[in-house]
Structure 1
């Protein structure tokens, strides 16, 4: 009997040891997969020779403005609209409202992810909007799309939501997931807070109900997260209020954190060159220049019909003098990614309009 008990104890211990040995192996395998994805993404980033600007239009017929458009540039400063500045996808095909605003594009491992505000102000005004649009593509020309109506999907928490604005996507490499974040305002409240949720595997919805991500002291809109030197930089349009709660200043600010989960430390300094003037800006977006250590902070001067930018190498200090884009369109709140020449040619084949220098085989 004792021998039998000893045998069982030995067997259990052996199984325990085997189980312990499997866990590190599985962990190493997952880590290797993440490292391979990171290496592939880094290699892809090094091949960029052009830029893609996604935006909605600020001029022309009202019913055609809140539509998704593309433009391409060889140098991120001189831009040409694709498809004669006509929509590349009709908003009534991809949204619940019939319009989209504030499109944001992300690339990762040669896949592309877009999100946009589901809102058609020409038809429905500014009273409220139902949610956001999610889009995914492997080639920039064919897109799978889905619209999320927050009141219907999450009635318990968001039945009184008024605005779901300016969504963006950030790839969380630690979790190998895509975090979608956006500004929320509820009816009867003044707060403008950032909420977030991880997208599901198909990028057609969320894994779970969105939760509060960050609450700026005076509220904020148009968030944009950039990771650099072990810090997450959260750019947004913020403001300053006096003792009476009246807004006395607004412009582009940022908060930083060592984790996407926070806490976020606000820096109340204004980064844009117009904060001390009567010129207002919004819709800031930061992108890194191809094969460079320089970043571009661009923003929408929506009341004056201009789009300008400033430069930085550390994301804390920006050039004081603004620069302007040369373009044949009038963009509103959009975003930019780097693309390859092959991708530029693919876009030209689909819609036309890509600058000739990107189509020249000799270059």
Structure 2
């Protein structure tokens, strides 16, 4: 005997209940998606070559063009507490593959001690952008055959999907050789490097390469970096693979004749393309450019406003909730 034929009201009730569950699930999912959508930006940077200037600073933006320094443009993390030298530079910040863990790497360095005086980087990890754990990785002490290592500069991190690991890449100079960009995988806890440094990019000119920044777009990895010495400027090398095969493109991408360094690229939340920024360090200013294809760049300095002067740093798209957490902690007026 069919029970539902005896109780037609039960069938109608079941359909209504099912539709209610579906509607609730869809609307809840939409609410969660909306809540987790990136609508703001976090700019992390250092400010100069003296004292507290060689520290991690934060600024925030709603649109990627207008930035306001947090904590009165003072450090948000003590360099003395996390570094071996007492200073840090070149902060790079990354959202983890889980969407909720953050990774930051910085140069462990005080410039007053000399440009060939540092051998280490600092790895940091956070679940909320406010509280960070940190570990010092001294390349010279950690790995063999590093006796003539002179400097370790501008580390950055990218997630290697194939390996399921975070890859740290940075530039190093050994003896009379030019600066070269290397890579190594971080361990699971992001407290150390797992393997010996391997060279990432082989310059066809054998020129010095520093300040690497890798952007994945249209199925290819784009390595932005600064060349030193002859042919000073920012260039791009492209590869189908993360750790090898980079082919140098012709030309330079900076939109100024002045010396530049610290290239940083970030994607706009609006889907309008990317912004490439860099430090015009001899002029005491930053330049911002915009691109849709990572090939053609137009200057947008007239659209950008900041109440601080950054040095080499990076911008991370963040959610409205993450912005609220940062403002609650460091929006001191």
TM-score tier by shorter-chain length is: 0.7 to 0.9
Q: Deviations over 1:53-108 (max 9, x none)?
A: 0000138xx21110110000111111111111110011010111110010000112
Measure the CA separation in 1 of the matches of 2:302 and 2:92: 22
Measure the CA separation in 1 of the matches of 2:42 and 2:240: 29
Contact residue 80 and residue 353 of structure 1 kept, 8 A: no
> Which residue number in structure 2 is paired with residue 68 of structure 1?
56
Say if 2:247 is the partner of 1:265. Answer: yes
Of 19, 36, 44, which aligns to 1:54? 44
Distance 1:322 1:45, change over 3 A: farther
Measure the CA separation in 1 of the matches of 2:306 and 2:262: 18
Measure the CA separation in 1 of the matches of 2:188 and 2:38: 26
Contact residue 192 and residue 215 of structure 1 kept, 8 A: no
Deviation, 1:319, is: 1.7
Measure the CA separation in 2 of the matches of 1:180 and 1:287: 18
TM-score normalised per structure 1: 0.78
Pairing of 1:204-243 with structure 2 (within 5 A): 204-216=191-203, 217=205, 218-238=207-227
TM-score normalised per structure 2: 0.85
Deviation, 1:261, is: 2.4
Measure the CA separation in 1 of the matches of 2:111 and 2:74: 19
> Which residue number in structure 1 is paired with residue 18 of structure 2?
none
Say if 2:330 is the partner of 1:348. Answer: no
SS in 2 for 1:64: helix
Deviation, 1:348, is: 1.3
> Which residue number in structure 2 is paired with residue 307 of structure 1?
286
Deviation, 1:212, is: 1.4
Contact residue 211 and residue 226 of structure 2 kept, 8 A: yes
Say if 2:183 is the partner of 1:183. Answer: no
Contact residue 78 and residue 326 of structure 1 kept, 8 A: yes
Pairing of 1:258-337 with structure 2 (within 5 A): 258-274=240-256, 277=257, 279-319=258-298, 322-323=301-302, 325-337=304-316
Deviation, 1:158, is: 1.5
> Which residue number in structure 2 is paired with residue 117 of structure 1?
107
Which of 317-326 and 144-153 deviates more?
317-326
Return 5+ residue gaps in structure 1 as ranges.
1-42, 240-246, 355-363
Say if 2:145 is the partner of 1:145. Answer: no
Contact residue 307 and residue 324 of structure 1 kept, 8 A: no
Q: Deviations over 1:133-187 (max 9, x none)?
A: 1001110001010011111111x22222101100000111122111000001012
Contact residue 137 and residue 193 of structure 2 kept, 8 A: no
Distance 1:321 1:90, change over 3 A: closer
Distance 1:45 1:135, change over 3 A: farther
Measure the CA separation in 2 of the matches of 1:105 and 1:44: 23
Measure the CA separation in 1 of the matches of 2:290 and 2:267: 10
Deviation, 1:324, is: 6.0
Distance 1:204 1:308, change over 3 A: same
Deviation, 1:130, is: 1.9
Measure the CA separation in 2 of the matches of 1:143 and 1:343: 15
Distance 1:92 1:44, change over 3 A: farther
SS in 2 for 1:249: coil
> Which residue number in structure 2 is paired with residue 95 of structure 1?
83
Say if 2:124 is the partner of 1:135. Answer: yes
Return 5+ residue gaps in structure 2 as ranges.
1-32
Measure the CA separation in 1 of the matches of 2:196 and 2:84: 19
Measure the CA separation in 2 of the matches of 1:79 and 1:95: 27
